[in-house]
Structure 1
């Protein structure tokens, strides 16, 4: 016998979104997952090698972003190239995260894992709110002001992706870029908040 809660959830998801939209969302999240892994690889390159790209990684990320935005989707014909540009942008963006991650490691390495898990939970929660709510409605949670803004972007961007697909826009690569930037923004803000709290706790212990 199936649980009513799970049944209701699956039925809500099925009835809220049309089949083409659901497939599009799957493609978007596949790209988002690859982007997140690429960013993790980029951060690892900075942390575990002697490569200190800094300014160059920022310039490189902008170049990849420009190439991605200037290469038309053309009904999926340029998809492989555009996914490559997206992963290049994500990797170099991850390299750019290196300095703040180094600082976090000096304070307490566990805050990085906590920030990532917290970001994932927040991101998934707000995405589900956007996917399962009625068309054009959003549900907001009470968190820090910066996080509220970024969570609002997750809600807005997710429902904007759904509406764009309904209007015939199948460019899931560009849509995943929007969500990757949202994910990165939440992660940075949450990491900073956790670092500040850890520093305050360390100061209190020293007293």
Structure 2
């Protein structure tokens, strides 16, 4: 028995309730987002080790990078509306490039723990972002916008709980659990943000660079959280393996002594 008829499948793929103009806008948003991701990946791959060392060891350099990102974001927001897309696109690509430079220390750390972590993180990030984006676009307009407040409340609760655990050194939420819960919130935020962009475009807001920037921030956070989670899991697995190996070696030594 077929669960979907051909007509139903075609309706889903056409993204019900999304007008042709909004679909065109979404194509511009995701094309800009892809270019931004390429800029970040290029910066992360080709950043010299001396720059990476500055990011890790020099707080002033890190603050300078953050300040530059904020300045570029201010320029983008100042040029509101659907005009000056070239300037705003240049600012977005610069933000993406600087963000990629900032990712390099984390990527290097992941490669030290296990070289496969970065590849797995890229696959997981793309799969997760693509799945939740598709779900959001194929869901009826405005149907999932209510989760914005829900996500904010959960995020605040998780962050507060983790902060209390860290300050008072009590076991409420550990670092791994915290990152997993935040990753779940970010996944839901993909749905919310995508539907919000569709709704803004339906009301005449076609500022695709700003919308691409919003999605890029979420996508970058998802990638970071996945990398951190994989690093923790890999380190735990390695520690358990070393522990078992030591116990096995200890048992072998006892048998030899006897």
Equivalent of residue 108 in structure 1, options 111, 114, 119: 114
Gap change, CA 1:9 and 1:192, over 3 Å in 2: farther
Gap regions ≥5 residues in structure 1: none
Counterpart for residue 57 of structure 1: 65
Distance, in Å, in 1 between the alignment partners of 2:30 and 2:100 is 18
Q: How does 1:31-180 map to 2 (within 5 A)?
A: 31-46=32-47, 48-52=48-52, 54=55, 55=62, 56-73=64-81, 75-76=82-83, 78-138=84-144, 144-180=180-216
Counterpart for residue 202 of structure 1: 238
Shift of 1:10: 3.7
Q: How does 1:180-195 map to 2 (within 5 A)?
A: 180-195=216-231
Larger radius of gyration: 2
Counterpart for residue 23 of structure 1: 24
- Paired residues of 1:130 and 1:137 also in contact (CA < 8 A): no
* TM-score of the superposed pair, with normalisation by structure 1: 0.88
Single out whichever of 9-18 and 82-91 deviates more from structure 2.
Answer: 9-18
Distance, in Å, in 1 between the alignment partners of 2:116 and 2:19 is 41
Distance, in Å, in 1 between the alignment partners of 2:33 and 2:9 is 23
Distance, in Å, in 2 between the alignment partners of 1:172 and 1:101 is 29
Does residue 13 of the first structure (1) align with residue 2 of the second (2)? no
Shift of 1:49: 4.6
* TM-score of the superposed pair, with normalisation by structure 2: 0.72
Distance, in Å, in 2 between the alignment partners of 1:7 and 1:101 is 45
Single out whichever of 111-120 and 36-45 deviates more from structure 2.
Answer: 36-45
Gap regions ≥5 residues in structure 2: 56-61, 148-178, 244-258
- Paired residues of 1:21 and 1:166 also in contact (CA < 8 A): yes
